[in-house]
Amino acid sequence: MKIWLLTHSEELKKPSGTGKIVKETIESECEIIVWSRVDPSTAVLALSPANTVLVYPCKNEQQTSLTDLTPTVDNIIIIDGTWQQAKKIYNQSPYLKAFAHYEIKGIKSLYQKRRNQKDIGLCTAEVAIHLLTEYKHPAASSLLEKFTEFNQ
Q: Please list the pLDDT of the chain residue by residue as tens digits (152 residues).
A: 899 999 999 999 988 789 999 999 999 999 999 999 999 999 999 999 999 999 998 765 556 666 665 667 899 999 999 888 999 999 999 999 999 888 888 888 888 876 655 566 799 999 999 999 988 999 999 999 999 999 99
Instruction: Say what the pTM is.
Output: 0.90
Q: CA dist 110 to 46, 53, 58, Å?
A: 34, 24, 23
Among 75, 78, 139, 85, smallest CA distance to 103 is for 78
Could you state, in order of their start, the residue ranges of all structural domains in the chain?
Answer: 2-151
